Chain A
Amino acid sequence: QVQLVESGGGVVQPGRSLRLSCAASGFTFSTFAMHWVRQSPGKGLEWLAFIWHDGNNIYYADSVKGRFTISRDNSKNTLYLQMNSLRAEDTAMYYCARDLGKGRYFDYWGRGTPVTVSS
């Protein structure tokens, strides 16, 4: 069965960096586009980034553009989110999600990894 397992979250000071990983199994990872989505009590669900199956098409939300980088290693069945210059407002639960098709919908989600940005 499809499984997505996020890791790498934690408590970090403002301005610091963190790299999230999402290990995929149960499907052919290299043929699916992927997304990162976060959820915080104050801002609800917020889509962050999208990467095509081969990494050739990438989109970001304006709130993270220039600070966050989505990438993938298809040989390791793993999706990444490099988060730099973290801010208090980046505090949230971070989910990776598989794309249903054409970058439109999210058909499988991981359980999430929490990120807290605080001094």
Chain B
Amino acid sequence: DIQMTQSPSSVFASVGDRVTITCRASQGIGSLLAWYQQKPGKAPNLLIYSASSLQSGVPSRFSGSGSGRDFTLTISSLQPEDFATYFCQQANSFPRTFGQGTKLEIK
């Protein structure tokens, strides 16, 4: 199975900050990576797929980059509604696997 490792596990930031979360795959996965946002008590919500494609309806302050083993999710200017937990997920092979999550908290 492909292991996905996110860093950091948690990050404190303020409204307006630029935040970057990283995800590393245990082997190369091309660009087959997604990012999800999850708020407490809710299901995950797809933000980015194929490493850098913005899902319909997702604000443009979210962006993704990377290929191979290393990927990043960037939020250009944090809004209050962005404080949540973020997960990466590889789609290169079955079983699909997720990172352990990065909790974005208010500073």
Contact = CB atoms under 8 A, between A and B. Distances in A.
A61 interface: yes
Binding site of B, secondary structure by majority: helix, strand, loop or mixed?
A: loop
Interface stretch (A12-20, A70-78, A105-113): A105-113
A100 B95 contact: no
Contacts, number: 57
A104 B43 contact: no
Contacts of B32: 104
Interface residues of B, number: 22
A45 to B, nearest CB: 4
Q: How large is the interface on A (under 10, 10 to 19, 20 to 34, 35 or more residues)?
A: 20 to 34
A109 B49 CA distance: 15
Interface of A: 35, 44-47, 50, 59-62, 95, 97, 100, 103-107, 109-112
Interface of B: 1, 32, 34, 36, 42-46, 49, 55, 87, 89, 91, 94-101
